[in-house]
Structure 1
Amino acid sequence: MLEMLEAMKTGDADVATAGLSEDLTTAIGTDAEEWWEGYDTSAKAFRAQLEVSGGLPIEMTDVRGYENDGMGWFEARGSVAVEGAAPAVVRMTGVLRREPDAWRVIQVHASAGIPNAELGMEGLPI
């Protein structure tokens, strides 16, 4: 997962998409429209975004991974800093599977933290 995150940061679409399993179910990004189902759709979207952006300005500082019997999962926290905008908190979770030659992502979800108050849920304990 660390290799895939670094590839997304540097814009290396080949390495980023190589980290996806052909059995990928869903990749969910931070934008409300970023809901891609299946390997072909997800890989195409990853590749297009990396080619246009030249790399995503992400810095994941807290990445943890776990595995059990050929399945793995991860959680990551960091920030995205687009030029001209304040850095935003980014969180990711995902599921990986050990395939014959590498660990590959079969589901991934990224989100940008939004304060509860912005969602009309003021006063909830955190």
Structure 2
Amino acid sequence: MQESSAVTDAWLRFCDGVTHGRVDRFDDIVSKEATSIVGTAPGEVVTDRAGMRFGFETEGVTLTSRRAVGFEEGSLGWVTDEPRFGFPDGTGMDCRVTAVLRKEGPAWRLVHAHFSVGVPDDEVVSLQQRWSSAR
């Protein structure tokens, strides 16, 4: 395993693609065999390409990398980051992400990404109790 600027750069292309609506570059950035993108909301798991492409198509959505570090071993790569996810209304949230990439020919392409938001455990317990009582 070694640190990889190529994997980091591929992640930065993903962030740029989302931020600038680069639908034309989607297939160059996301593997045709991508498995899933897991968001921060309960049940937010996207497993189809149309859903994955939606992030590139939504005007005003931004994904700004702040601490991306990539690694690779053979044809597999992964990156961790703490990006800022911006919403069309100008609000946003700080989040964390771990993403898996695969080398396909000369390019690294996204296969899976999991976004999360750091919340203290006691607050998560309280939120989940509220959510379950609301059902």
Same structural fold, with TM-score higher than 0.5 when normalized by the shorter chain: yes
Deviation of the 1:103 alpha carbon:
0.8
- 2:81/2:96 contact within 8 Å kept: yes
Q: Which runs of 5+ in 2 are unaligned?
A: 1-10, 127-135
1:19 corresponds to 2:29: yes
Q: Which runs of 5+ in 1 are unaligned?
A: 122-126
Deviation of the 1:63 alpha carbon:
0.3
SS of 2:64's partner is strand
TM-score (norm 1): 0.76
Deviation of the 1:117 alpha carbon:
2.8
**Count of aligned pairs between the two proteins:** 115
Deviation of the 1:84 alpha carbon:
5.7
- Percent identity between the aligned chains? 26
Specify whether residues 92 and 101 from structure 1 end up closer, same or farther in structure 2 by C-alpha distance, changes over 3 A only: same
Higher fraction of helix: 2
TM-score (norm 2): 0.72
Map of 1:50 onto structure 2: 56
- 2:67/2:82 contact within 8 Å kept: yes
Amino acid at match of 2:61: L
Map of 1:30 onto structure 2: 40
Over the aligned positions, Cα root-mean-square deviation in angstroms equals 2.1
**Mean Cα deviation higher: 75-84 or 4-13:** 75-84
1:111 corresponds to 2:116: yes
Per-residue deviation, residues 17-40 of structure 1 (Å, max 9, x unmatched): 431112222221222232122xxx
- 1:17/1:46 contact within 8 Å kept: no
Deviation of the 1:44 alpha carbon:
0.6
